[in-house]
Structure 1
Amino acid sequence: MTEAKSYFHSHLWKFIAAGALLAFMGFSWKNARLKILPVYNDSDGLYLPDGFQALVVVDSLKGQARHIAVNKNGDIYVKARNHNLNGGYGNIALRDTNGDGRADIITPFGKYDGHTYGTAMRIHNGYLYFSSELMVYRMKLKKGQLVPDSKIDTIVIDNPPYHEHQTKPIAFDNKGHIYVGWGAGSNAGQVNNRQPGSPGVGEPGSPNKGNPWLKDHGGIWMFDANKTGQHQADGVKYATGLRSTVALDWDPKSKSLYTVAHGRDDFRMLWPDIYTPWESAMQPAEEFFKVTKGFDGGWPYYYYDQIKGKKLLNPEFGGDQVKEGEGAKLTQPLIGFPAHFAPNDLLFYRGKQFPAHYKNGAFVAFHGSTDRAPYPQAGYIIAFVPFKDGKPSGPWEVFADGFAGVDPIVNVSNAVYRPMGLAEGADGSLYVSDTERGRIWRIMYTGDKRKFGAPELAAMEKRKQTASNIKTPDEIKDNLFKGMATTSVVYSTYCIACHQADGKGDGNRFPPLAQSEWVNYNTPRLIRVILNGLKGPVKVKGLSYNEVMPGHGSFLSDAQVAEVLTYIKSNFNNLPEIVTPEEVGAVRKTLPKETHD
């Protein structure tokens, strides 16, 4: 295993070998401006299989990064995560002009409405395609021109309002179609989203009494890749039963569409009588699917238990960790990845730079969990799945680790970097983007391809079994909160999954409580938020959030609300204050009865 932070001094010969290797491959330095160089910050090392090295192409993009695309000449295009931090622009163009491997031209471009979930950035047939939460756009690329100056065409149009899981990932087949993911703004199809004990809506298997989200969300739609102004009704509903799809790619080898879908959340928070904290951290799987027309992934009725290898009924629809319903009749995943790893990009490797082991296989960017407490947060890696004849030919592997920079990852906010987007360069390099600090890596193979095999993969397999952010945690030994006094039972049961043990949220979906203006000022408003819930978009500490916080007033007593608010106000560097049950009761009386009963 190579640790990128020390490879320049200890593996200098590999840089020389890399030049010979690329020359042997017919690589042109002039056309692609690519060089093998060390990382620019020796403290930020990645763990990679032996023979691979990493180069930091750019650091600290102001707009951060979602998906990325690399043009044939080496230019990089980035979907900005945060338009406001990027001068109001949704995209970023990068170019290396002096051949040192690092981008020295960084140009924001493309103004269009968008928040932090808009995801796509792909190059297809000479066009740059990208997305906001509600739209898919494209611009014509011109040879030699970094920033396109063509008008922005609107290819696909979604209807407001914004809601969770709107990301609009895209993929293209070889017949002129574009596939667009349509996330459902719900965790598990409940009557009241993310509210403990709330039942699911609809009947599994009933075409007339199905969950309403499935009518126009929770699936993948197919459109004409070259037609503008298409609404959802103009497309074909290609797949359903997919709660949140961010990782989407077309495999040209098998001529098939694939996705790695996000599983649902909050088993323990919503159903504490059925799931232990360990079971909630372990379930459900992130599912890797081959998607054909008419596909049904089973959401919101079913989830996949990767330990039992079965589709089980969700508790919202009568499930108890045993009942299968009609789950066996659904398409089963190719692989059930560990729970809450957060698959945010998928790329089938087409290049020739990497050893034959990686040819036609799939790389998956796992953004990392937010809700595995009291166990270490998990994921934050690039995984690889070897493929043959259109299906996995072996178990999934850890390809790149070390992005988080801490071990264990107690709270998601502790992670220094979180891998998000994947792209392949013209020379076969793999590019990886980060959402937190706007960093982009280029991963290259500099070893002897003829000798690459099991010994080179052994250290990464060991990490898969031992690293706290990857392995299956021991229920007792790996409980980070064991032996600690639980200051607030309410917080650890209902709040910690979203707002984290340190109160800092996850930096994107769930806002911080630490030093928050929503916590430190206007206590009656804060009480109303706990009782009624809150729907976005809202601004907290200058950043916008667009998730749904369910109301807790129907199942928490005045004393419990007072207890958790006193705990929050007395911790996380907030202004200490005691909230009394009487204060909560007074606010509760001012609310409409149906909002808190």
Structure 2
Amino acid sequence: MVSSRNIKILTISLGTILLFSNCKKIEPGRDGELFLPDGFSSVVVIDSIPETVRHMDVTEDNILYAKLRNSKEDGTIAAIQDTDGNGEANIIQKFGENNEPQRWSYATAMRIYNGYIYFSSDLVVYRQKLTPGSLVPEGEVEVVLTDDHEHGKHEHIAKPVAFDGKGNMYVPFGAPSNACQDPKRTPGIPGMDPCPQLEDHGGIWKFDANKLGQTQKDGVKYATGIRSVVAMSWNPADDELYVLMHGRDDLLRLWPDKYSPWESALLPSEEFMKVTEGSNFGWPYCYYDQIKGKKVLAPEYGGDGEIIGRCSEFEDPIIGFPGHWAPNDLVFYQGDQFPKRYKNGAFIAFHGSTNRSPYPQSGYFIGFVPFKDGKPSGDVEVFADGFAGVDPLVSVRDAIYRPMGIAFGPDGDMYISDSVKGKIWKVTFNGDRNNFGQEQLLAMEDRKKLSHIRTPDEIKDNLISGGLVGGPKAYQTYCSACHQRDGKGAPGRFPPLTGTDWVTGDKERLINVVLRGMEGSIKVGDEVYNGMMPQHGFLSDKEIAEVLTFIRTNFGNEASAIDESEVAESREKLQQSGETGPIQVQTE
């Protein structure tokens, strides 16, 4: 049962949020303006939710349920309601026992199906029966599906859900690696062939939506060759499943002899897939190149960016979006409030890149793809923009907001959530539905010229001027994709390189992290980070010394240099001890 001690009610009025449990007042911002097509307007439903928001859904009586990413003592779900009709929430109620195994902050799903809210943590899909007339469901929280695989630091562990209306639930089991290498993310190492991870990962499984206590063996493998999915939806217009895959990373870091920084920033594609039973999209053997318009062989399997090879055997996406845009939600519009051209089309939340350095980060907008007769009928449009608040975007931490979730209310209004501060917007159409066309979209076409959306110029948009050597060159090649060009890292995934004893403290520990890699979670400041640090033992002692000296004396750090001999000594100790696997850490 839901415990009353985990419920806190907030009332919003006259520009303040009053938390009754401690009478803390918060002054929310009221600027809800996003860049939208002519005739649309936005308002801020709630200025911030400290736990931040992932996916959302809305009931027929206009209650918005939001899955909280970083669950705290208040609960794991927020029920949000606007009872006075001004667009701004005046009731927020957090609930849910905080006992979910959210070790890596991948809590994602929130979908309403058959009178239940279905939601997920890292490893578990839950459901709870909605109670008519009540914000908080009163029934038991039931476990529908548990990911019972052993998990150390598992990549791509999010559990979004989709339903086909016939009693089936679809859940991805993301690939536990980037490209099926062993050891993972190591330059020059070929991928395992055949990839054993495809047996129970790297695909979509179908389950009985109404059966409790399931594990993966209770489901049916529906499709395979799909690396990582956060955005997934059933399209009622053609009665088919659609997903957007996060493409693989590290083309430059792992294969600097085959890919330029520009190619690594743009490739591979984020694939928009129509998934039917038996589909195979070719991960890890292949990736889609949206510039060439074809699927090519991955470098781990002998590819060079041109060879097609076995990739002709696999399915292509319906659209290939630019690399690293991070599509994190997908919803097909079924309402009637928006102009007719949006009916049955796909809205996509592009969360935005972290690893496009030395080029500007890209994405950070809500896109729209028109559909006709079950197929895309046009290119992606910029529907909502202005989240990042800065252009060019050098580091992911410079983004004020990042669009994460999309939901539609029964009246056709659109809700957009943000993963940085937990802000939620409501988008409404107030124009003339019968006279909406290209003229109203012109301003949004101009948004495509900004650096966070357009294809970067290989020379002019390179943020690093002049040739780099030594530590700065190694940092740019091997480190900046995760830790960012400015060393600030990426929230929740890759820790910053400043203000942490991990960088400025024990030299031998830092050297060992580079030599061995690290898995698990660490805390820097008040934030926990869960990204995997690959081993970089392939670098020479001199290169490691140079790059570590660089980070210990830059980004505001003032620590001593590291000598080549210190790296050699640490490497020899590891070889003698036989400790070659990644360092395991866990922040409670």
Q: TM-score, length-normalised on structure 2? A: 0.91
Q: What are the superposed Cα offsets for residues 194-217 of structure 1, whole Å, 9 maximum, x if unpaired?
A: 111111011xxxxxxx20111111
1:518 Cα deviation (Å)?
1.1
Task: Work out whether residues 363 and 383 of structure 1, in 8 Å CA contact, stay in contact via their aligned partners in 2.
Answer: yes
2:429 alignment partner AA: Y
- Structure-1 residue corresponding to 2:548: 565
- Structure-2 residue corresponding to 1:82: 70
Task: Work out whether residues 552 and 596 of structure 1, in 8 Å CA contact, stay in contact via their aligned partners in 2.
Answer: no
1:43 Cα deviation (Å)?
5.8
- Structure-2 residue corresponding to 1:53: 41
- Structure-2 residue corresponding to 1:323: 307
Cα pair distance change 1:446/1:273, threshold 3 Å: same
Distance between the aligned counterparts of 1:229 and 1:592, measured in 2?
Answer: 45
- Structure-2 residue corresponding to 1:22: none
Distance between the aligned counterparts of 1:263 and 1:281, measured in 2?
Answer: 12
- Structure-1 residue corresponding to 2:11: none
**Per the alignment, in what secondary structure is the counterpart of residue 90 of structure 1?**
strand
Q: Which runs of 5+ in 2 are unaligned?
A: 1-27, 582-588
Structure 1 stretch displaced more, 91-100 or 125-134: 91-100
**Per the alignment, in what secondary structure is the counterpart of residue 135 of structure 2?**
coil
- Structure-2 residue corresponding to 1:400: 384
Q: Does 1:104 align with 2:87?
A: no
2:171 alignment partner AA: V
1:165 alignment partner AA: H
1:49 alignment partner AA: P
Q: Does 1:247 align with 2:236?
A: no
1:201 alignment partner AA: M
- Structure-1 residue corresponding to 2:178: 187
Q: What are the superposed Cα offsets for residues 496-530 of structure 1, whole Å, 9 maximum, x if unpaired?
A: 00000111111022111121221122221111101
2:186 alignment partner AA: Q
- Structure-2 residue corresponding to 1:178: 169
Matches within 5 A, 1:503-518: 503-518=487-502
- Structure-2 residue corresponding to 1:201: 192
Task: Work out whether residues 194 and 549 of structure 1, in 8 Å CA contact, stay in contact via their aligned partners in 2.
Answer: no
Task: Work out whether residues 521 and 528 of structure 2, in 8 Å CA contact, stay in contact via their aligned partners in 1.
Answer: yes
Cα pair distance change 1:43/1:488, threshold 3 Å: farther
**Per the alignment, in what secondary structure is the counterpart of residue 421 of structure 2?**
coil
Distance between the aligned counterparts of 1:133 and 1:79, measured in 2?
Answer: 12
Q: Does 1:389 align with 2:379?
A: no
**Per the alignment, in what secondary structure is the counterpart of residue 287 of structure 2?**
strand
Q: Does 1:234 align with 2:218?
A: yes
Task: Work out whether residues 245 and 261 of structure 1, in 8 Å CA contact, stay in contact via their aligned partners in 2.
Answer: yes
Structure 1 stretch displaced more, 55-64 or 585-594: 585-594
**Aligned length, in residue pairs:** 549
Task: Work out whether residues 65 and 433 of structure 1, in 8 Å CA contact, stay in contact via their aligned partners in 2.
Answer: yes
- Structure-2 residue corresponding to 1:590: 573
Q: What are the superposed Cα offsets for residues 300-327 of structure 1, whole Å, 9 maximum, x if unpaired?
A: 0000011111110000000011110121
Q: Does 1:269 align with 2:260?
A: no
Q: What are the superposed Cα offsets for residues 457-484 of structure 1, whole Å, 9 maximum, x if unpaired?
A: 11212222x1100001110111111247
Distance between the aligned counterparts of 1:532 and 1:485, measured in 2?
Answer: 26
Q: Which residue among 95, 98, 123 is the counterpart of 2:81?
A: 95
- Structure-1 residue corresponding to 2:419: 435
Distance between the aligned counterparts of 1:562 and 1:178, measured in 2?
Answer: 51
Task: Work out whether residues 331 and 406 of structure 2, in 8 Å CA contact, stay in contact via their aligned partners in 1.
Answer: yes
**Per the alignment, in what secondary structure is the counterpart of residue 230 of structure 1?**
coil
Task: Work out whether residues 33 and 43 of structure 2, in 8 Å CA contact, stay in contact via their aligned partners in 1.
Answer: no
- Structure-2 residue corresponding to 1:20: none
Task: Work out whether residues 516 and 574 of structure 1, in 8 Å CA contact, stay in contact via their aligned partners in 2.
Answer: no
1:60 Cα deviation (Å)?
1.6
Q: Which residue among 274, 277, 281 is the counterpart of 1:293?
A: 277
Structure 1 stretch displaced more, 440-449 or 587-596: 587-596
**Per the alignment, in what secondary structure is the counterpart of residue 336 of structure 1?**
strand
- Structure-2 residue corresponding to 1:215: 199
Distance between the aligned counterparts of 2:408 and 2:83, measured in 1?
Answer: 20
1:108 alignment partner AA: K
Q: What are the superposed Cα offsets for residues 102-151 of structure 1, whole Å, 9 maximum, x if unpaired?
A: 12222222222213112100111110100011110000110111111211
1:332 alignment partner AA: D
1:439 Cα deviation (Å)?
0.4
- Structure-2 residue corresponding to 1:134: 123
Q: Does 1:480 align with 2:463?
A: yes
Identity over aligned pairs, percent: 55
Q: Which residue among 475, 484, 497 is the counterpart of 1:491?
A: 475
Structure 1 stretch displaced more, 449-458 or 486-495: 486-495
Distance between the aligned counterparts of 2:550 and 2:74, measured in 1?
Answer: 38
Structure 1 stretch displaced more, 160-169 or 263-272: 160-169
Q: Which residue among 334, 337, 340 is the counterpart of 1:356?
A: 340
Q: What are the superposed Cα offsets for residues 228-258 of structure 1, whole Å, 9 maximum, x if unpaired?
A: 0011000010011110011000011100000
- Structure-1 residue corresponding to 2:50: 62
Q: TM-score, length-normalised on structure 1? A: 0.89
Q: What are the superposed Cα offsets for residues 73-97 of structure 1, whole Å, 9 maximum, x if unpaired?
A: 22111111112xx326322221223
Task: Work out whether residues 249 and 346 of structure 1, in 8 Å CA contact, stay in contact via their aligned partners in 2.
Answer: yes
C-alpha RMSD over aligned residues: 1.8
Task: Work out whether residues 312 and 319 of structure 1, in 8 Å CA contact, stay in contact via their aligned partners in 2.
Answer: yes
- Structure-2 residue corresponding to 1:575: 558
**Per the alignment, in what secondary structure is the counterpart of residue 591 of structure 1?**
helix
Matches within 5 A, 1:11-30: none
Q: Which runs of 5+ in 1 are unaligned?
A: 1-39, 203-209
Task: Work out whether residues 368 and 379 of structure 1, in 8 Å CA contact, stay in contact via their aligned partners in 2.
Answer: yes
Task: Work out whether residues 515 and 571 of structure 2, in 8 Å CA contact, stay in contact via their aligned partners in 1.
Answer: yes
Distance between the aligned counterparts of 1:523 and 1:44, measured in 2?
Answer: 47
Distance between the aligned counterparts of 1:88 and 1:543, measured in 2?
Answer: 18
Distance between the aligned counterparts of 2:490 and 2:222, measured in 1?
Answer: 32
1:44 Cα deviation (Å)?
6.4
Distance between the aligned counterparts of 1:318 and 1:124, measured in 2?
Answer: 45
Distance between the aligned counterparts of 2:186 and 2:548, measured in 1?
Answer: 18
Distance between the aligned counterparts of 2:467 and 2:60, measured in 1?
Answer: 54
Distance between the aligned counterparts of 1:50 and 1:179, measured in 2?
Answer: 36
Q: Which residue among 454, 461, 464 is the counterpart of 1:471?
A: 454
Task: Work out whether residues 29 and 47 of structure 2, in 8 Å CA contact, stay in contact via their aligned partners in 1.
Answer: no
- Structure-2 residue corresponding to 1:26: none
1:42 Cα deviation (Å)?
6.2
Q: Does 1:155 align with 2:144?
A: yes
1:331 alignment partner AA: E
**Per the alignment, in what secondary structure is the counterpart of residue 178 of structure 1?**
strand
Task: Work out whether residues 54 and 443 of structure 1, in 8 Å CA contact, stay in contact via their aligned partners in 2.
Answer: yes
- Structure-2 residue corresponding to 1:72: 60
